[in-house]
Amino acid sequence: MYDYEELLDRAIARLPDVETTDARFVIPEPKVFAEGKTTILDNFGNIANILNRDPDHIMKYLTRELGTAGKIDGSRAVFQGRFMRSQIANNIQAYVDEYVICSECGRPDTQIVKVDRVLILQCSACGAHRPVKKRKATQVETKEAIEEGGTYEVRIDAVGSKGDGIAKVDKYTIFVPRTKKGDVVKIKVKRISGNLAFADLV
């Protein structure tokens, strides 16, 4: 005769292996570019599919964290205002940490269920569950989006009278030599004067 613990151990041993490898779960790099006065997350649909979450839920989270309005346009997300790729990437990672990854086993095999008005993150890999925290919107870099000595990725929207490429990040107009309209380049800011910034290619 087996006691309860032995029977439980035998049953667990016969369960199929539901654990996943970390290599399977890779968050795509956000493809971000400016379009007029908006910021486009071009591969939003792909990211939502990988995360296995409702696109509307992800969008609501991102607009709250970025402190802006936005909408889903097909497979793209459109945000009002200018945001850097790093800002959007950091907020997607924060969403994953809170709403996707199991805090016990670190696996992404989870689902969100509602129990008595409380959102619970349940893990099918290890069986753990925890309430999802409703965090206050974090402060992002919208007021001081760039700083001297910082390295950033920008899109050149125009060319100035002296031939320098011009990029816009939040309130700043950034002049970048040896670039042309449409280029997406990595720059290092060498000087800021009011709302004007001067940078070199990295």
pLDDT of the residue at 138: 44
Which pLDDT band holds residue 165 (cuts at 50, 70, 90)? very high
pLDDT of the residue at 47: 96
Q: Are 57 and 77 in contact (CB under 8 A)?
A: no
H-helix or E-strand containing 62? helix 55-66
Kindly state the average pLDDT of the residues 13-17: 51
Are 160 and 191 in the same domain? yes
Which pLDDT band holds residue 14 (cuts at 50, 70, 90)? low
As a whole number of angstroms, the distance between CA 193 and CA 201 comes to 19
Please state, in angstroms and as integers, the Cα–Cα distance from residue 99 to each residue in 40, 46, 108, following that order.
Answer: 23, 17, 9
Are 181 and 120 in the same domain? no
pTM, 2 dp? 0.58
Give per-residue pLDDT as tens, 91-148: 999 999 999 999 888 899 999 888 778 889 989 888 888 988 754 444 444 445 788 8
H-helix or E-strand containing 91? helix 85-99
- The domain total for the chain is 2
DSSP 49: H
HSE of 176, CA atoms in CB hemisphere, 13 A: 30
Q: Which residue among 131, 162, 177 closes a domain?
A: 131
CATH code, 168: 2.40.50.140
Give per-residue pLDDT as tens, 23-71: 567 889 999 999 988 999 999 999 999 999 999 999 999 999 999 999 9
pLDDT of the residue at 24: 64
Q: Are 112 and 76 in contact (CB under 8 A)?
A: no
Kindly state the average pLDDT of the residues 71-100: 94
Are 120 and 178 in the same domain? no
pLDDT of the residue at 141: 41
As a whole number of angstroms, the distance between CA 70 and CA 77 comes to 7
Are 46 and 88 in the same domain? yes
Is 14 inside a domain boundary?
no
Q: Which residue among 98, 131, 164 closes a domain?
A: 131
Which pLDDT band holds residue 17 (cuts at 50, 70, 90)? very low
Which range of residues forms the domain containing residue 58?
25-131
Q: Is 7 exposed, middle or buried (0-12, 13-18, 19+ CB in 10 A)?
A: exposed
Q: Which residue has the higher pLDDT, 190 or 140?
A: 190
pLDDT of the residue at 139: 41
CATH code, 125: 3.30.30.170
